[in-house]
Amino acid sequence: MKVLILGVNGFIGNALTRRILTTTDWEVFGMDLSANKLEHSLGHERFHYLEGDITINKEWIEYHIKKCDVVLPLVAIATPATYVKEPLRVFELDFEENLRVIRQCVKYGKRVVFPSTSEVYAMCPDPEFKEDESPLVLGPINKPRWIYSCSKQLMDRVIAAYGQQEGLQYTCFRPFNWIGPKLDDMDAAKEGSSRVLTQFIVNLFQGKPIELVDGGAQKRCFTYVEDGIDGLMLIIRNKDGICDSQIFNLGNPKNECSIQDLAEKVSALYRSRKAKIKDFKEPVIAGVNADTYYGKGYQDITTRKPSVAKAKKLLGWEPRTSLDHALERTFDAFLEEWTRA
């Protein structure tokens, strides 16, 4: 199988590439702006990498869509701070640029595996979100935080419509707060615009307080990246076409944790690695309100728990890694990166 991964250097793209190259005989064609997370795969005989930009290298992309069997368009902005500050950039990249790729998959009859998101459920009141039943509940337009959710939701709908009307072969997957090594670039966290776990870890390394937005009672279900990749591999394999025209939540409902508890767990890990940390400072957990942290365009999600019954039934997939283990591995990978830098 020939797999095209756009955004191959991202958190999901790099982990998926490594897994494909080490466990299958497939070929990977990948493009991204840089390759700093791909040192494990660069130079592999079945990995073909182009340093490029989805908005510029359009001919290369079209040529490779024609050449490959399955296309994963993983290019996206996925940090809430950017949704609030630069909503147009989120729409243009996450929706418009990806739409062109989807249309070419339709044109050339290629299978697409699209990264939807847990964020599409937004403020859904269901205790567990179900792919084919739960309502998708967004806030008002004056809260640009929802532009990411809305762009991804519209893309899910457009893809499903291409499936319905023009026979596009597709599967959408919805990661629920995947965490693991290489989650985000530490430079983004230094500027304060990273996802929560990277942000907490980098704040500690910098000797800065961890900031709990609006008290930290909001919960997420953190999912270890390798568990997520297990699910994604089953989707790409698509045994007997079981994943065709389906959407799958890939999350770990057992790892539900409030942001306050997350702050405490990360602080405890930091303390336990004291001997390895240069300029260790006792961790401080502070409070901040959302308007100050993100700006007025932000609105939060209080609980976000996936039902993974469908993934279990159709794929035989279940997440296995506990939250503590996932946090430890993520923390240690960042510590190593920080120490090396």
Residue with tokens 């072969």: 169
Nearer to ligand UGA, 118 or 246 (CB): 118
| Dihedral sign of CA atoms 5, 59, 44, 11 in order | negative
Quick check: is 119 catalytic?
Answer: yes
Q: How far is the CB of 216 from ligand UGA (least distance, A)?
A: 6
DSSP states of 197-254: HHHHHHHHHTTPPEEEETTS--EEE-EEHHHHHHHHHHHHH-GGGTTTTEEEEE--GG
Nearer to ligand UGA, 64 or 220 (CB): 220
Give which of 1, 67, 4 is closest to 32, Cα–Cα: 4
- Torsion, CA 252, CA 255, CA 258, CA 260, rounded to 10: -130
Q: How far is the CB of 151 from ligand UGA (least distance, A)?
A: 11
* Beta pairing partners, 122: 137
Q: How far is the CB of 24 from ligand UGA (least distance, A)?
A: 26
Q: How far is the CB of 175 from ligand UGA (least distance, A)?
A: 5
Distance CA 276, CA 143 (A): 42
Nearer to ligand UGA, 66 or 157 (CB): 157
Catalog residues that contact ligand UGA under the rule CB under 6 A. Answer: 78, 80, 117-119, 148, 175-177, 195-196, 199, 211-213, 216, 218, 220, 259, 300
Report angle CA 316, 320, 325 to the nearest 5 degrees.
165
Distance CA 62, CA 55 (A): 12
Question: 3-state DSSP call for residue 185?
Answer: coil
Nearer to ligand UGA, 71 or 78 (CB): 78
The number of CA neighbours under 13 Å toward the Cβ of 146 is 19
CA 150 to chain centre: 16
Question: 3-state DSSP call for residue 48?
Answer: strand
Nearer to ligand UGA, 27 or 184 (CB): 184
Q: How far is the CB of 15 from ligand UGA (least distance, A)?
A: 14
Q: How far is the CB of 197 from ligand UGA (least distance, A)?
A: 7
Active-site option among 97, 119, 131, 226? 119
Nearer to ligand UGA, 36 or 289 (CB): 289
Active-site option among 18, 145, 174, 304? 304
Q: How far is the CB of 333 from ligand UGA (least distance, A)?
A: 17
Nearer to ligand UGA, 29 or 129 (CB): 129
Quick check: is 304 catalytic?
Answer: yes
* Antiparallel, parallel or unpaired: β 223-224 and 178-179: parallel
Question: 3-state DSSP call for residue 328?
Answer: helix
Under DSSP, the state recorded for 120 is: G
Residue numbers annotated as active site = 119, 304
